Structure formats: structure tokens, C-alpha cells
Amino acid sequence: PPEIDGVRLEVSGLTRKYGRQVAVEDVSLAIRRGEVFGLVGESGSGKTTVARAIAGLPSGVGPGSLRLDGSPLAPSLARRGGARRRVQMVFQQPDATLNPAQRVRTVLARALRTLGGRGSVEELAARTQVDPGLLQARTTALSGGQKQRIAIARAFAGEPDLVVCDEPVSALDVSVQAGVLELLAAQRERSGTSYLFISHDLAVVSYLADRVAVLYRGRIVESGTTAEVLAGPHHPYTHALVTAARDRPTTLSAGTASAGGCRFVARCAFAHDRCADEPALREITPGHVVRCHLASGALPSAPLSVRTEE
């Protein structure tokens, strides 16, 4: 991977509400240049709200600041001006953003025009691994995997600084997931673009992400390098996710809400008296933070084999 150096995106104190419902609360994270930052959690944890806020899409209301390369990033696309191009998004369902009446060539030509990309459609296709034979095809004629590859090529038309990928492979057949992940890895390597990579699938996250944050009911409960967090989780929720991924690839049930105190208390096998007070994030090793009252080393070992560099 390219050298990871300096902060590209800084999110501070992001809170978002839909009416009275709090979707994310006080989320802070920093994504470095050239880094893939994974955001993990089950559905309803607030992952997509964080993604949409960063991408400038409607995401509820609330405080919090976004900075891209040190400069404030407006919360809505309409107010981002020239910075609109710098953050691109790849969605779970490519169908939602591909015009069915258009040919692939038209989609890519338009992306080059609107995102300020250089070179021809053929050059964009070559650098994003689009089969030139597909350029004349209508988007409706493509498979799900091909559509997602076109959506990725389109996101890279203007060489973005950050690409927000929201569950980019979870709607695809398992047989084509690896190819799409390899394409994303290759684009990062080629361009040094940073990714916020959102997934409920720990195996997918461990393939791409350098660091990871775990969201539970709108709050970060653990964050650190992917290798440290997934191989030695310190929060009981991360531990349960890792154990579930290792033993049976299913997601955990949604659980019930708890009033006050630790939000995981109703599901936590390690809950004790102190858990009636909500824990703060604390650093256990440099860069590895956890929101839990348990002492380090209190959890049984549950390592998920994490893909490390070959």
C-alpha cells in the first residue's frame, strides 16, 4: 500500500438526530492520507449516517465538524463548491445511481466532465480496469458486479481525495465480491486515495482496512489498528462480533435498548455494577481505544485471523 502520511479527513464530535432519535453521538475519527479506515457495526449502529454526513448527503441534523486536509468541509453538498469532487461515494446498490437508459461510455464521459477528470473515457476505463468491450453496453445489461465496477470507475474519474464505500460488496454474489475488493485495493494503491470503508462483514474489513472503528448504537466503542482490534478485541461487543464471525458468519441480533449507563449492558456477559455509568473512551495501547469499564485482559481470547501483508 502507499505510504500513509498526515490526516486527510478529521471528523470531530459528530452527532446526528432524526427527530428525537439519535443516530450517531459524538463520533470523532481521523483518516490519514492513503489509509483505508473501516467502520464496523450491525445495521442500525449509525454507520450509514456517518458515511452520508461525510459525503455531504442528508443525514439528519446535529453538531460536529468535518475537515478535509485541514480545511472545513461544509455539511451539505450544495455548500461544498469545488470540494464536491474531492469526496466520492460508492453505495451498496449501484443501480440507485446508474441511469438505466445510458451506456457505460456516457456514464464515464459525464463523470470525467463533472468531476474534472483528465484524459479520455478509454484512459479512465484502462486505469480502473473496465473491460473496453463494456463501454457500448447499456447499464441495464450489466451484472451486479459489473455495475459496481462502473460505479467505482466513475468515483475515480476525478481522482478524489476520499472515497466513502458503504457496504460496497454486500449486495453482490460471494463469487464476485473478491474481484470488487481487489479493484478497490488496486485503486488505493495506484492513487493513494483514502477510504472510509463501511461493512458489517469483518472478513471484508480485515482484507482492506488499516484501522477500524466499531460503532454500537451510535457511539464508537473500540478503535485501533485492524490487526490489534480484530485479533485482540477489548470491548465485549467487538469480542462478540469477532467470535460470531469466526464461529458462524452471521450478524448479531439487534438487542434491546438500555436506559443510561453502558449501551451494551443488556447484551453484555461481563456487565457489573459500574456499568450503570456510561464508560468514556480510554486508550489501552497507543492508538487503541475502548469504551468499557473492564480491565484489560479480562476477556477470553477470541482472535479472528486477520489478513496481514504478504
Residues that bind ligand SF4 (CB under 6 A): 235-236, 262, 264-265, 268, 270-271, 275, 279, 292-294
Angle among Cα 96, 196, 227 to the nearest 5 degrees reads 130
Angle between helices 174-191 and 144-155 (to 10 degrees): 10
CB of 41 to ligand SF4, least distance (A): 14
Please, which residue, 130 or 214, has the CB nearer to ligand SF4?
214
Interatomic CA distance for residues 141 and 150, integer angstroms: 12
Please, which residue, 274 or 307, has the CB nearer to ligand SF4?
274
Interatomic CA distance for residues 197 and 65, integer angstroms: 20
CB of 182 to ligand SF4, least distance (A): 36
Please, which residue, 174 or 269, has the CB nearer to ligand SF4?
269
Are 100 and 140 in contact by the 8 Å Cβ rule? The answer is yes
CB of 290 to ligand SF4, least distance (A): 8
CB of 234 to ligand SF4, least distance (A): 9
Are 214 and 180 in contact by the 8 Å Cβ rule? The answer is no
Interatomic CA distance for residues 2 and 69, integer angstroms: 17
At residue 96, the 3 state secondary structure works out as: helix
Interatomic CA distance for residues 211 and 269, integer angstroms: 26
CB of 283 to ligand SF4, least distance (A): 16
CB of 51 to ligand SF4, least distance (A): 25
Please, which residue, 198 or 265, has the CB nearer to ligand SF4?
265
CB of 111 to ligand SF4, least distance (A): 44
Please, which residue, 157 or 262, has the CB nearer to ligand SF4?
262
Please, which residue, 174 or 280, has the CB nearer to ligand SF4?
280
List alpha helices for the chain, DSSP H. 47-55, 104-114, 121-127, 144-155, 174-191, 202-208, 226-231, 236-247
CA distance readout (Å), 170 to 125, 173, 239: 24, 8, 22
Dump strand ranges (E) for the chain.
7-18, 21-32, 36-40, 65-68, 71-72, 87-90, 162-166, 194-199, 211-216, 219-225, 282-285, 288-290
C-alpha cell at 95: 443501480
Please, which residue, 268 or 302, has the CB nearer to ligand SF4?
268
Interatomic CA distance for residues 176 and 139, integer angstroms: 17
CB of 20 to ligand SF4, least distance (A): 24
Please, which residue, 270 or 284, has the CB nearer to ligand SF4?
270
